[in-house]
Amino acid sequence: MREYQHNNGKNEDPDERQNRPDGNARKENLDEKKTEKDIEQKEDEKLEEYGQMTLDDNANKRKIHLISIIGEVEGHENLSGNSKATKYDHILPKLAEIEDDDSVEGLLVLLNTSGGDVDAGLAIAEMIASLSIPTVSLVLGGSHSIGVPLAVCTDYSFIVPTGTMMVHPVRMTGMVIGASQTYEYFEMIQDRILSFVSTHAEIAYDQLKRLMLNTEMLTRDLGTVLVGEETVKEGLINEVGGIKDALKKLYELMETASR
């Protein structure tokens, strides 16, 4: 026969009392839930402030870092608070951390940028290109100007069917001295961009320069706008596709790298 003990005016089954979690167990459960909530909150804050997050909740149990390059690539001067911007001083340290973290197996770069500072953009592109882990980029709305090197700096690149890329000569804001040395300086900057893109994409240097100096497409500027499949035909982007295709390719590259 079961014995019942009087507890605060209620009869309690000894078996139920034994199975009930004690105070320490309840505290541990609460601490675990609090830790999970804190981690989720930090991830949300990181996504909101830096446009970055870690993708690790997948069937493949792979850890991928996501970086988004959106708006304007900010240079040495801060843009106005009303402008969406990608700050190179946020991206570069994170890329160094990714390279040093053995648990990160791949990098996915999402692009929807109007361009921006040449030095900052090339610095990010060079650093992504030098990573030892597999990298894949996906051009969404557009990747214009200095966004072109950022799109081609990965191991493999995608663009959505309606995505656009604009190739145009280097522009400079502010006061410019009209001298031959200024022109030569512009030529040097353009050569840096042309050399990087032609090295990391399938397009030839001379063909890219022709697109950059095209006078027939834009009414008030030089350059060429390419849409979706056109970027693949010109050799800038590897393939037309979306996020599904980009992740699938990244998993394939990661699987090959792990062998």
Give pTM, 2 decimals. 0.77
Q: Which amino acid is at 205?
A: Y
At residue 56, the pLDDT reads: 79
180-200 and 118-129 are packed helices; what angle lies between their axes, rounded to 10 degrees? 30
Alpha-carbon span 168 to 146, nearest angstrom? 9
For residue 126, report the phi and psi dihedrals to the nearest 5 degrees: -65, -40
- Is 90 one of the catalytic residues? no
- Is 144 one of the catalytic residues? no
Q: What is the pLDDT of residues 69-114, one digit of tens each?
A: 998 888 777 666 677 788 888 899 999 999 999 999 999 999 999 8
At residue 86, the pLDDT reads: 84
Return the structure tokens found at 184: 């030569």
Element (H, E) at 256: helix 243-257
Q: Which of 144, 168, 198, 200 is catalytic?
A: 168
Q: Which amino acid is at 212?
A: M
At residue 4, the pLDDT reads: 46
Q: Which of 145, 157, 198, 200 is catalytic?
A: 145
Alpha-carbon span 253 to 155, nearest angstrom? 9
Ranges of the chain with pLDDT below 50: 1, 4, 6
Return the structure tokens found at 143: 């990747």
Helix, strand, coil percent values for the chain (each to nearest 5): 45, 20, 35
**How is residue 88 annotated by DSSP?**
H
CATH number of 49-257: 3.90.226.10
Phi-psi category of residue 174: left, alpha or beta, with phi > 0 → left and psi -120 to 50 → alpha: left
**How is residue 206 annotated by DSSP?**
H
Alpha-carbon span 160 to 137, nearest angstrom? 11
Reduced to 3 states (helix: H, G, I; strand: E, B; else coil), residue 224 is strand
